[in-house]
Chains A and B, each alone.
Chain A
Amino acid sequence: MREGAWFEGLQNPYRDDKVMAACGLFGVLDTSGRATGASDVVRAMANMHDRSNGLGGGFAVYGLYPDRADLYALHVMYMREEARPEAEAIIRGHFSIAQAEPVPTRPGARVSDPPDFWRYFVTPQNLDHQESSDDYVIQQVMRINTGVSGAFVFSSGKDMAVLKGVGYPEDIADYFRLDDYQGYMWVGHGRFPTNTPGWWGGAHPFNILDWTVVHNGEISSYGINVRHLEMFGYHCTMQTDTEVIAYAVDLLMRRHGLPVEVVADVLAPPFWSHLEREDEETQALHRALRQVYASLLMNGPFTIIIAHQGEMIGLTDRIRLRPLTAATKGERLFLSSEEASIRLVSPELDSVWTPIGGEPVVGRLGLSPREAPPELLALRPERIVQSTESVARTS
């Protein structure tokens, strides 16, 4: 039982440790930075309708606030009215607020019992000189999430937003007026949770700063992942195992400065029996990672898409128990639970493949998939077998 978890308004009446994340996910990054609308990601998610059960859907969009790009955009959901003044007092006490407004929503959308959604564009104030703004923001987010009953900051990065809740992804997109926004990177998720309705905070993506994570699977190591992260000041309040991935990535990539391939080797390390065949330097590195970060190994089936400004990363567990298809077309990189959704939004593809378990697919702003080294895309020999006859294809 975790601190700060049992508050009124929380819709987890069965007090499940965590809600399983069985679902569908999709991500698209335009590496040239070209901004596009929501229709591709929404159509892709709608096409995977049967992977969800209507109890959770959500999106992350990057690049949607270009004229406020250097302000932290805190998105907060309020489950009870009194929570807003309490939370805003904390925000006012630690930030200077350039703008505060309700998140635009569309009445009549097919979602159930939404809480109130507000967003605040802020700059940190009153930091100690040695504190980083990012750590400061995390502290205040944790303070609100554990301290203010019925308030949750669910997105806290710059020039990006998570918009999510209880409903099918396409309905959530409708509710949050996703078609009003433009972004160079979109991630979508539809959920199939196994507890009952109502907890808007339990939908994916999960977020801290500009990190977002969507997840298909269940983390069987969750109990120890949480306890390890707590030692570093992260508090899990969202009742969903996916939350630990967001914090683990923040710890490993932002605070410990590890490159993404190394982070993938922490979350999904290669087997000892395979490492024996590598050179000594490689073995020494992997041994050290597993010794030091043993409690951050993510066990259990998973496919995750991790995104932050400039990068989209797809990763599966080391025995590939959950599906992931990757594809490229021109400057765009796609990641999806099912290939059909990619084909729906881009019938012609330059390449399409299944990444190997534990090997990350990384898309970077400014690096076209055509120029990216194959290791970055985990693109192993999956070349088409050429036939001597032509094969008719229709879109």
Chain B
Amino acid sequence: MVSTPVVIDATGLHYSELNRSLRETVLGGQSRIEVRNVYGQRYIGTNLAGDVHLDIFGTPGNDLGAFMDGPSIAVHGNAQDGCGNTMNEGQIVVHGRAGDIAGLSARGGKVFIRDSVGYRVGIHMKEYESKRPCLVVGGTAQDFLGEYMAGGVLVVLGLNLQEGEPHRARFIGTGMHGGVIYLRGHVEAHQLGREVGVAELDTDDRATLEGLVSEFCRHFGQDEKAILGGRFTKLFPLYLRPYGRLYTY
């Protein structure tokens, strides 16, 4: 039962006004909202909870969905830095690219980004029992991908790479002690952090991956079979305590 969405025009609105307006709209009983003419307003989705869906047209500002607990957001444009920062539950779908630190310290929920992302994406993502955040990037990522990951799933598909073109990210998974990264495409050992192990995907991995790729394709109209047919590598933490030999007592 899809109700007609309410349209909010963000032109000239400061982020505090826009977010207040969104919250009032939601509290007023609306669960589907379109926000248009967004130019850099921050923290959209942060103060919302529950079963709400936002369609954002324009370029949302930093910390989109930061600390968000439940709602789902679709961005029809590019996102900036901090997308899904410490997100607890919910979903963010970006029909474009995102900036740095997407998914920083995320604790749950899902983020799908169609194109590429910046630095330190997925840094310190967490996980506990059933709470397992997932972040899927259709393009490539830059340095420090998955830096000191403690949990969750990071998928980077490299769909915009040419045939044989390798990933360029460096310091991938540096400090990783939990979670997993599935990388589609070629990456060299020197691009990985010292704490990262490389393996083939097992059946559980493939099941998780297929689920996420399937969702990704539904959002962005991609060919699931073609994507899954590519070469995937699993990057995982070698040690539970990567810094055991660091201190003298």
Return chain B residues, CB-CB under 8 Å to A352: 78, 97
Would you give the 0/1 interface string for A349-373, flagging 1 where the beta carbon is closer than 8 Å to chain B?
0001110110000000000000000
**Total A-B residue contacts, Cβ distance less than 8 Å:** 110
CB-nearest residue of chain A to B115: A385
Q: Does A116 contact B (CB under 8 A)?
A: no
Return the chain B residue nearest A343 by Cβ. Answer: B59
* B99/A343 in contact, CB under 8 A: no
A381 touching B161, Cβ below 8 Å: yes
Whether B138 lies near A47 (C-beta < 8 A) is no
Q: Which residues of B contact A380 (CB under 8 A)?
A: 168
| B39 adjacent to A394 (CB under 8 Å) | no
* A153 → B minimal CB distance (Å): 35
A383 to B172 Cα, complex, angstroms: 21
Q: Give the complex CA separation of A354 and B141 in angstroms.
A: 10
* B116 surroundings in chain A (CB, below 8 A): 353-354, 382
Q: Which residues from chain B contact A319 at a C-beta distance below 8 Å? A: 119, 143-144
Q: Is residue A129 contacting chain B, with contact meaning CB distance below 8 A? A: no
From A320, A325, A352, A381, residue with most partner B Cβ within 10 Å = A381
- Whether B143 lies near A341 (C-beta < 8 A) is no
Contact of A340 among B39, B97, B159, B190 (CB under 8 A): B39
B40, A384: Cβ atoms closer than 8 Å: no
Q: How far is the CA of A237 from the CA of B152 in the complex (A)?
A: 50
Q: Which residues of A contact B168 (CB under 8 A)?
A: 356, 380-381
For B77, list chain A residues within 8 Å (CB).
Answer: 343, 393
Write out, one digit per residue, whether chain B residues 109-122 have a CB within 8 A of any chain A CB (1) or not (0): 00000111011000
| B76-A388 in contact (CB<8A) | no
Number of interface residues of B (CB under 8 A): 46
Task: State whether B143 touches A387 (Cβ < 8 A).
Answer: no
**In chain B between 71 and 124, which residues have their CB closer than 8 angstroms to a CB of chain A?**
76-78, 80-81, 95-97, 99-100, 114-116, 118-119
Write out the residue numbers on chain B whose beta carbons fall within 8 Å of the beta carbon of A339. Answer: 40, 59, 78, 80, 99
Judged by a CB distance under 8 angstroms, whether B21 is at the interface is no
B40 interface neighbour in A48, A277, A353, A387, Cβ under 8 Å = A48
Mask: chain A, 312-341; 1 = CB below 8 Å from B; 0 = not: 000000011001010000000000001111
**CB pair A385 B39 closer than 8 Å:** no
Chain A residues with CB under 8 Å of chain B are 47-48, 50, 273-274, 277, 319-320, 323, 325, 338-341, 343-344, 352-354, 356-357, 380-385, 387-389, 391-394
A selection of 18 A-B contacts at a CB cut-off of 8 Å is: A277-B190, A320-B142, A323-B100, A338-B62, A339-B99, A340-B58, A343-B77, A354-B99, A354-B100, A385-B139, A385-B159, A385-B220, A387-B114, A387-B220, A387-B222, A388-B222, A389-B221, A392-B76
In the complex, given contacts A274-B170, A323-B118, what are 10 additional A-B residue pairs having Cβ atoms less than 8 angstroms apart? A323-B81, A339-B40, A339-B80, A340-B39, A341-B40, A354-B119, A381-B160, A381-B168, A383-B139, A388-B221
